[in-house]
Amino acid sequence: QVQLVESGGGSVQAGGSTRLSCAASRNMYVSDCMGWFRQVGGQEREGVAAIDSVGRTTYADSVKGRITISKDNDENTLYLEMNSLKPEDTAMYYCAARGVVICTESSLRGTDYQYWGQGTQVTVSS
């Protein structure tokens, strides 16, 4: 069972920046795909960014140019660098792993992911 633990959330002023981290357990496949999702209350979970095993990335249109996903395979850690934050970026952010030995197709579909973290809250105030 892969375990994912997010950190780095908090309160940020609009226009500010923050970085989220997701530490994965050592039994996660190094060549797996990972992603970041966000959810506001009872709304549907939204795919924000994803990265495949060779570093190719996919972003939601709402965050393109403001958010960067990256992965440190040595540390088994996924990152989400968020800049120019807007109040509408306020959400619970979750990291996820697809659970595939070798993954070459990043995805923003939540149903493609098998493992999920508990989430970290990001609140952007205007």
Span 71-85, pLDDT tens digits: 998 888 999 999 999
Cβ neighbours of residue 96 closer than 8 Å, sequence gap 6 or more: 4, 34, 35, 36, 37, 110, 113, 114, 115, 116, 117
Q: Strand pairing of 46-51 and 57-59? A: antiparallel
Q: Where does the pLDDT of residue 102 fall: very low under 50, low under 70, confident under 90, or very high at 90 and above?
A: confident
More confident residue, 27 or 69: 69
Q: For the segment 21-67, what is each residue's pLDDT rounded down to a tens digit? A: 999 987 777 778 999 999 999 899 999 999 998 899 999 999 999 99
